[in-house]
């Protein structure tokens, strides 16, 4: 897929956000299991644990709680975060591993050229982006 520099930068940011959300969910998913289950999965990256452990639809909100705080803090548009959240929920519920091509398809449905992305917005010197500040 041929991408504009803007599209490539948006894809990189989205990829980091999605992998972070999968990591948050994976750590929570593993923490809820017994030591006998956790032991053999210690070598599996946290963003891939949902492939090995079933995720119920009712678990999604709990597993993804606060998973989007960093993208929100740096100013990723709500529309993008909502699409990424839906993408991650599908991966979790279906037990599918992350694939960059699938993420690019999700991003292709967004009007990236029309959205104000974090690097387009005026600098916000009065706000700290770091969590807890």
CA-CA distances (angstroms) from residue 98 to 16, 20, 80, 119? 11, 11, 17, 26
Predicted local distance difference test score (pLDDT) of residue 42? 87
On whether residue 80 sits in a domain, the answer given is: yes
Torsion angle (degrees, nearest 10) of CA 35, 36, 40, 42? -10
pLDDT in tens, the chain (133 residues): 567 887 888 899 999 999 999 999 999 998 888 888 888 898 999 999 999 999 988 899 999 999 999 999 988 889 999 999 999 999 999 999 999 999 999 999 988 788 777 777 776 555 555 555 5
On whether residue 15 sits in a domain, the answer given is: yes
Predicted local distance difference test score (pLDDT) of residue 33? 81
On whether residue 64 sits in a domain, the answer given is: yes
CA-CA distances (angstroms) from residue 81 to 31, 54, 65, 87? 25, 24, 13, 10
- CA dihedral over 26, 29, 32, 36, signed as positive or negative: negative
On whether residue 125 sits in a domain, the answer given is: no
Predicted local distance difference test score (pLDDT) of residue 14? 94
Predicted local distance difference test score (pLDDT) of residue 127? 55
Predicted local distance difference test score (pLDDT) of residue 39? 85
On whether residue 126 sits in a domain, the answer given is: no
On whether residue 118 sits in a domain, the answer given is: no
């Amino acid at each position: 897929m041929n991408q504009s520099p803007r599209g490539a930068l948006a894809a990189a940011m989205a990829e980091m956000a999605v992998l972070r959300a999968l990591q948050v969910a994976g750590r929570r998913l593993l923490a809820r299991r017994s030591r006998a289950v956790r032991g053999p999965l210690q070598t599996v990256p946290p963003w891939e644990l949902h492939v090995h452990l079933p995720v119920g639809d009712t678990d999604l909100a709990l597993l993804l709680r606060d998973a989007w705080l960093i993208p929100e803090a740096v100013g990723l548009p709500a529309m993008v975060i909502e699409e990424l959240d839906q993408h991650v929920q599908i991966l979790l519920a279906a037990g599918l591993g992350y694939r960059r091509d699938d993420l690019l398809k999700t991003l292709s449905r967004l009007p990236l050229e029309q959205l104000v992305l974090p690097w387009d917005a005026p600098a916000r010197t009065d706000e700290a982006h770091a969590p807890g500040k």
